[in-house]
Amino acid sequence: EAGVVQSPRYKIIEKKQPVAFWCNPISGHNTLYWYLQNLGQGPELLIRYENEEAVDDSQLPKDRFSAERLKGVDSTLKIQPAELGDSAVYLCASSLRGGNPYNEQFFGPGTRLTVL
């Protein structure tokens, strides 16, 4: 069974440029998470989807970040414009229904973003 797929693995951009990350969750997983992970820290949740609905986006900086999961499957996270402080690893995870603590979150390999 394929795991969570993310692309690209690495992205280097100039500040003020836009950037987008793509995630394809494990088939059948209706819950999708986007996390930000700074160097030497644990992940921080940005947004959680249940199917196509963003049920928790309270920690998403909405002035520059946006996300979508139009058909309840794959998802895109966008930053526009990017700032130097956005340099980090962006992780995507998926699970069966997120409310059940026994539904393990499976993580993708992440996208390492460097903003110059």
Partner 1 sequence: AQTVTQSQPEMSVQEAETVTLSCTYDTSESNYYLFWYKQPPSRQMILVIRQEAYKQQNATENRFSVNFQKAAKSFSLKISDSQLGDTAMYFCAFRMDSNYQLIWGAGTKLIIKP
CB 30 within 8 A of CB 50: yes
| Shortest spacing between CB 16 and partner 1, in angstroms | 27
Cα 85 from Cα 32, distance rounded (Å)? 24
Q: From the CB of 31, what's the least distance to partner 1, in Å? A: 8
- C-alpha 25/C-alpha 50 separation (Å) is 12
Q: Which lies closer to partner 1 via its Cβ, residue 39 or residue 84?
A: 39
Report the residue number, 37 or 66, with the smaller CB distance to partner 1. Answer: 37
Distances (CA, A) of 48 to 17, 72, 84: 25, 12, 25
User: Between 1 and 14, whose beta carbon lies closer to partner 1?
Assistant: 1
- Cβ proximity to partner 1: between 57 and 81 the closer is 57
Residues near partner 1, by CB under 8 A: 3, 40-45, 48, 56, 89, 91, 93, 98-99, 101, 104-105, 107-110, 112
Please, are residues 65 and 13 in contact by the beta-carbon 8 Å criterion? no
| Residue 13 CB, nearest approach to partner 1 (Å) | 19
- The answer to whether 31 touches 48, Cβ cutoff 8 Å, is yes
